[in-house]
Amino acid sequence: MSENDRLRDLFAAVADPTRRRLIRLLAEADEIPLHELTAQFKMGRTAVSKHLTILKEAGLVIDRKVGREPRFRLNASPLKEFQVWVSSYNKFWSKGMLGLKLLLEDEEKKSETLIMDFQYNTSIEKVWSALTDSNKLAKWVMENDFKPEVGHRFQFRTQPVEGWNGIIDCEVLTLDAPNRLSYTWVSGGQNNTVTWTLQDLGNGKVNLHFEQSGITNEYVLENAKHGWAAMCGSLEKVLAE
């Protein structure tokens, strides 16, 4: 393949905003399974796979299978060709590259992650049980049909309000007892991922680290912050039972 053809394939691969976001997600992790990547987009598994195939054909993505689940990682070396190509036009591109930087920063701001930490005087096993037992979840989050099984689809349900049916659709993504749990959180036009990470601090104290990623609405971000703070306050009462 000629240099021009290779550059053309690279430019075509990164021209799509979905593929640029995939590159950014892969750049932040060593390796990501397909179901976790799919959870970050408002599209199906097949559509995300097609974008990944284009990136793979351009040499930007490497995949492997673990069981039946494909996992992907970024191969950043072809991006050096962009750097070499762009550097030859530095004097013409200074303003343009500044505009591109601002554009990418603005695009990044559109998706935010809510991060919160809570500490409890209890055992890590009791916190894990409160996160994964459907009956206990109902006491501090909402009514649900959760099961601690990767791939299990479930719902949190609460009283509907005007403009919202009170249903949150979820799918278990990660289950690493008693350390890490993640699931999708899809409701009201938002497709987020909720991740809980537990750490035993010793002396009967546990840190519960919470992340809700993919939030694209400032109103949703503020409401999520207040909502989870209140629910994790209720969790303390459940742990004391």
Q: How far is CA 88 from CA 12, 129, 161, in A?
A: 20, 58, 58
Residue, of 219 and 108, whose pLDDT is higher:
219
Q: What is the mean pLDDT of residues 79-92?
A: 65
Q: Is 137 exposed, middle or buried (0-12, 13-18, 19+ CB in 10 A)?
A: buried
Question: What is the chain's length?
Answer: 241
Q: How far is CA 191 from CA 40, 70, 158, in A?
A: 7, 21, 18
CATH of 112-240, one of 3.30.530.20, 3.40.50.1360, 3.40.50.800, 3.40.228.10: 3.30.530.20
For residue 101, give both structure tokens.
């930087």
Q: Please report, for the chain, the start and end positions of each structural domain, with discontinuous segments joined by +.
A: 3-109, 112-240
Q: What is the pLDDT of residues 102-117, one digit of tens each?
A: 555 555 556 788 999 9
Answer yes or no: are the C-beta atoms of 190 and 216 closer than 8 Å.
yes
DSSP string, 42-89: SS-HHHHHHHHHHHHHTTSEEEEEETTEEEEEE--TTHHHHHHHHHTT
CATH architecture, range 3-109: Orthogonal Bundle (1.10)
pLDDT at 105: 58
pTM for this entry: 0.57
